[in-house]
């Protein structure tokens, strides 16, 4: 049975203008407009049932598994689109009817253009709008795409160009790939009697196409060629997100032939809801971008998401010429992605992509994800569960296998960039195990593959009856250890979100302990482990109460050279004092046992002028104060 995974709705900004005038424009208004659907085969057998169809209202919803996508996001969907719906041909849109439709998958189907004449053109570009939902290619290979554009100048010999090769299984193309532009100059320029075809060769789900256009030049075409995920996690607990400071960086490219004198890279953060509440916006001017050049650009301001509540949010990058010049491809000017705020879940990705890691030498190894707590949280946080996803590469059952869950804490003394972390042993003065748990696979139900399909409770490493308490502003690794019966298991990975370790420790995603060494540089590249951490606030405790001015005085404010924390407590107790910047980064920490009365001083002359926070934690309560430093 083929499975389909649902998708969130992406609320996008409207495109401001359309492309430069095309030589030819097929918008499928009222029908195929001279394009001819040609059936080749169904399930390896020659058939006349493998047909592209024309859909008057632009809808892509023609099946039970491929439903929910609505109207094609093209320029003119209302006057009709063309689509090859492999699922509908295979099962007639009926559940439990796989392979009983008029054309069982895989299908080979063509949609061939009328004769086109490019005799007078020295350049030829083709652009079209699309939506591709992928399952697998023609030969039962998940690595294969089902979508191709083919060209011919003699009506007999066709050159095939694969499309959507990077789309993962059970996924659609990205928003910025909603419009595809192909340089066909080497094939078609100066030629007459040209034909182009859309070729489907695959097994489920569908490929919708609209607004096929041909151009004789590509003068103006700006693009966002890459963007950096601004959040430390795909999903962050609502109590922790306030310190997940966002910076916005993108690679922008001039794909056109004209110098771009000035263009703006704009970013925004908004709710992924129908009314799309705007929380943040920023922009930066890019000047003199030469044809073919790609540069990295960052916007000047950071965003601290103090006001976000539980829900799904969207960050949007757009890159437009100041003069709003028409371009061949408009959707590559736009890039966007999601992040989530939840009650108590840390996650690095929202899905797996049927990729995995195993140790080829079948020796014990550990894989984990890096998470950091909010330094300003005043409650008591408890690590409850580690979630994870495994499978057996040889397709044997998981039943009987056991994995060990471990939660590590990185010492607060380790530098922010981890440059002084001792990576030569699993536990040492810089990294220690503070929580442990186990999970044993027991039934065939465990062999069903879903994201975060397993979880197990965590307990204190030193006392299996006590909770694992997390400290504010500390760094943790939620990990799975593979040893004994589990050493041959595969750890599921996801490749949708890329974290850039070079941007700092906030972008650490997956780490691994293998061959007696920790690797903290995202060793799987763009792939991250499906390992999450669930936390929850414990019951109210005395140290959540705010201390009075009589007990704690923090001064001067504003400060120039130092900040004093004067304390007069009722009885001896353990205290910790912190100096942080506005992003939550701990700049200094001082802790004392059996403290009753005295002054703790932080030198601030070495820090830039700006806003800082001083926090005191004691057995009786807390105190937090914002301090302005000026020089």
Same domain, 533 and 548: no
Q: Residue 60: name the closest of 71, 75, 76 by CA.
A: 71
312 lies in some domain: yes
> Are 244 and 232 in contact, with CB atoms under 8 Å apart?
yes
Q: What is the DSSP letter of 185?
A: H
* CATH classification at residue 581: 2.60.40.1930
Q: Residue 618: name the closest of 588, 596, 599, 601 by CA.
A: 596
> What is this structure's pTM?
0.71
How far is it, in rounded angstroms, from Cα 48 to Cα 40?
7
Count of beta carbons in the 10 Å neighbourhood of residue 609 = 12
The count of structural domains within the chain is 4
In this predicted model, which residue has the larger pLDDT, 466 or 393?
393
SS3 call for 398 = coil
Residue 241: φ, ψ to 5°: -65, -25
What is the pLDDT at residue 585? 61
Look at residues 311, 342, 373 and tell me which one is the last residue of a structural domain. Answer: 342
Same domain, 237 and 367: no
How far is it, in rounded angstroms, from Cα 223 to Cα 333?
5
* CATH classification at residue 65: 2.60.120.200
How far is it, in rounded angstroms, from Cα 438 to Cα 436?
7
Confidence of residue 175 (pLDDT cuts 50, 70, 90): confident
Contacts of 337 (CB under 8 A, 6+ apart): 227, 229, 314, 315, 497
What is the pLDDT at residue 519? 94
How far is it, in rounded angstroms, from Cα 398 to Cα 392?
7
Peptide bond just before 507 cis, omega within 30 deg: no
C-alpha angle 421/344/5, rounded to 5°? 100
> Are 513 and 426 in contact, with CB atoms under 8 Å apart?
yes
Does pLDDT of 456 surpass 80?
no
6 lies in some domain: no
> Based on the number of CB atoms within 10 Å of its own CB, is 605 exposed (0-12), middle (13-18) or buried (19 or more)?
exposed
How far is it, in rounded angstroms, from Cα 482 to Cα 503?
30
Same domain, 460 and 483: yes
> Are 305 and 242 in contact, with CB atoms under 8 Å apart?
yes
10 lies in some domain: no
488 lies in some domain: yes
What is the pLDDT at residue 480? 93
Look at residues 322, 342, 362 and tell me which one is the last residue of a structural domain. Answer: 342
Residue corresponding to tokens 């053109």: 121
How far is it, in rounded angstroms, from Cα 337 to Cα 586?
29
Residue corresponding to tokens 């003699």: 154
Q: Residue 345: name the closest of 193, 450, 483, 233 by CA.
A: 233
Residue corresponding to tokens 């310190």: 243
Count of beta carbons in the 10 Å neighbourhood of residue 114 = 14
Same domain, 388 and 412: yes
Same domain, 129 and 262: no
What is the pLDDT at residue 358? 85
Same domain, 524 and 552: no
How far is it, in rounded angstroms, from Cα 149 to Cα 298?
36
How far is it, in rounded angstroms, from Cα 172 to Cα 160?
21
First to last CA, the chain: 68
Same domain, 588 and 474: no
Residue corresponding to tokens 């308490």: 469
The mean pLDDT of 520-538, rounded to a whole number, is 88
Q: What is the DSSP letter of 31?
A: S
Question: Which contiguous run of DSSP H or E holds residue 187?
Answer: helix 185-188
* CATH classification at residue 337: 2.60.40.10
The mean pLDDT of 175-201, rounded to a whole number, is 94
Q: Residue 74: name the closest of 63, 60, 84, 61 by CA.
A: 60
> Are 317 and 336 in contact, with CB atoms under 8 Å apart?
yes
Does pLDDT of 558 surpass 90?
yes
Pairing of strands 475-482, 365-372: antiparallel
Q: What is the DSSP letter of 186?
A: H
Question: Which contiguous run of DSSP H or E holds residue 188?
Answer: helix 185-188
Does pLDDT of 345 surpass 50?
yes
The mean pLDDT of 311-331, rounded to a whole number, is 87
Proportion of the chain in helix, strand, coil states, percent, rounded to 5: 5, 45, 50
157 lies in some domain: yes
Same domain, 328 and 314: yes
Look at residues 170, 197, 215 and tell me which one is the last residue of a structural domain. Answer: 215
Q: How far is CA 271 from CA 10, 259, 629, in A?
A: 10, 35, 34
15 lies in some domain: no
Question: Of 63-67, 185-189, 335-339, 443-447, where does mean pLDDT reach its minimum?
Answer: 443-447
18 lies in some domain: no
Q: How far is CA 51 from the centre of its chain?
A: 35
Residue 164: φ, ψ to 5°: 65, 35
How far is it, in rounded angstroms, from Cα 145 to Cα 138?
8
Domain, as residue range, for 601: 542-629
What is the pLDDT at residue 582? 60
Question: Which contiguous run of DSSP H or E holds residue 89?
Answer: helix 86-91
Helices (H) and strands (E) in the chain, counts: 2, 40
Residue corresponding to tokens 């919803």: 61
Does pLDDT of 62 surpass 90?
no
Model confidence pLDDT, tens digit, residues 571-582 = 899 888 888 776
SS3 call for 8 = coil
What is the pLDDT at residue 447? 55
How far is it, in rounded angstroms, from Cα 563 to Cα 561?
7
How far is it, in rounded angstroms, from Cα 164 to Cα 412?
45
Confidence of residue 101 (pLDDT cuts 50, 70, 90): very high
* CATH classification at residue 500: 2.60.120
Model confidence pLDDT, tens digit, residues 416-449 = 999 999 999 999 999 999 888 888 887 655 655 5
Same domain, 529 and 563: no
Same domain, 333 and 377: no
Same domain, 78 and 195: yes
SS3 call for 602 = strand
Q: Residue 306: name the closest of 248, 239, 249 by CA.
A: 239
How far is it, in rounded angstroms, from Cα 248 to Cα 499?
13
359 lies in some domain: yes
How far is it, in rounded angstroms, from Cα 526 to Cα 505?
16
Q: Which two tokens stand for residue 557?
A: 């404010």
Percent of the chain with pLDDT over 90: 54
Does pLDDT of 545 surpass 80?
no
Same domain, 144 and 169: yes
Model confidence pLDDT, tens digit, residues 3-14 = 333 333 344 444
């Amino acid at each position: 049975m083929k499975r389909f995974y649902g998708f969130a709705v992406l609320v996008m900004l409207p495109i401001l203008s359309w492309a430069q005038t095309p030589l030819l424009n097929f918008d499928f208004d009222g029908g195929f407009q001279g394009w001819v659907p040609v059936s080749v085969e169904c399930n390896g057998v020659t058939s006349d049932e493998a047909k592209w169809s024309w859909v008057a209202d632009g809808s892509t919803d023609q099946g039970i598994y491929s439903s929910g996508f609505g109207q094609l996001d093209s320029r003119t969907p209302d006057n009709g689109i063309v689509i090859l719906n492999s699922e509908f041909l295979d099962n007639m849109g009926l559940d439990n009817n796989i392979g009983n439709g008029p054309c069982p998958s895989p299908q080979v189907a063509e949609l061939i253009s009328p004769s086109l004449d490019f005799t007078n053109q020295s350049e030829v570009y083709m652009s079209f709008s699309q939506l591709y939902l992928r399952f697998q290619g023609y030969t039962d290979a998940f690595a294969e795409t089902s979508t191709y554009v083919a060209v011919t100048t003699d009506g007999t010999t066709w050159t095939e160009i694969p499309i959507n090769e990077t789309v993962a299984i059970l996924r659609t193309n990205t928003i910025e790939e909603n419009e595809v532009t192909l340089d066909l100059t080497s094939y078609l320029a100066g030629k007459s009697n040209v034909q182009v075809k859309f070729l489907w060769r695959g097994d489920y789900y569908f490929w919708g196409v609209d607004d096929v256009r041909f151009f004789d030049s590509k003068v103006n075409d700006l693009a966002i060629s890459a963007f950096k995920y601004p959040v430390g996690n795909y999903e962050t607990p609502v109590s922790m997100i306030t310190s997940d400071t966002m910076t916005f960086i993108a690679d922008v490219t001039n794909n056109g032939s004209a110098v771009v004198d000035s263009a703006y890279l704009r970013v925004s953060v908004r709710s992924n809801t129908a009314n799309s509440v705007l929380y943040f916006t920023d922009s930066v001017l890019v000047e003199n971008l030469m044809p073919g050049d790609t540069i990295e650009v960052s916007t000047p301001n950071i965003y601290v998401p103090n006001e976000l509540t539980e829900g799904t949010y969207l960050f949007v990058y757009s890159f437009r010429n100041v003069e709003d010049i028409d371009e061949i491809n408009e959707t590559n000017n736009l890039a966007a992605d999601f992040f989530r705020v939840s009650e108590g879940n840390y996650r690095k990705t929202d899905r797996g992509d049927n990729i995995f890691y195993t140790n080829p030498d079948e020796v014990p190894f550990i894989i984990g994800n890096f998470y950091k707590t909010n330094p300003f949280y005043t409650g008591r946080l408890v690590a409850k569960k580690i979630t994870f996803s495994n499978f057996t590469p040889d397709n044997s059952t998981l039943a009987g296998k056991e994995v060990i869950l471990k939660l590590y804490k990185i010492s607060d003394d380790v530098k922010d960039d981890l440059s002084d972390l001792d990576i030569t042993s699993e536990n040492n003065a810089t990294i220690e195990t503070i929580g442990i748990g186990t999970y044993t696979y027991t039934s065939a139900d465990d062999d069903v593959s879903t994201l975060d399909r397993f979880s197990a409770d965590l307990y204190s490493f030193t006392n299996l009856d006590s909770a694992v308490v997390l400290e504010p502003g500390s760094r943790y690794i939620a990990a799975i250890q593979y040893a004994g019966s589990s050493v041959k298991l595969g750890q599921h990975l996801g490749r949708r979100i890329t974290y850039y370790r070079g941007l700092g420790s906030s972008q650490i995603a997956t780490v691994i302990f293998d061959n007696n060494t920790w690797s903290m540089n995202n060793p799987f590249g763009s792939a991250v482990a499906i390992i999450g951490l669930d936390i929850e606030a414990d019951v109210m405790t005395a140290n959540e109460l705010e201390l009075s001015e009589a007990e704690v005085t923090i001064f001067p404010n504003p400060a120039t050279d130092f900040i004093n924390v004067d304390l007069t407590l009722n009885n001896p107790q353990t205290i910790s004092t912190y100096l942080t910047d506005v992003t939550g980064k701990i700049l200094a920490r001082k802790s004392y046992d059996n403290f009753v009365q005295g002054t703790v001083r932080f030198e601030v002359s070495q820090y830039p002028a700006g806003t800082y926070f001083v926090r005191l934690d004691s057995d009786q309560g807390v105190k937090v104060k914002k301090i302005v430093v000026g020089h």
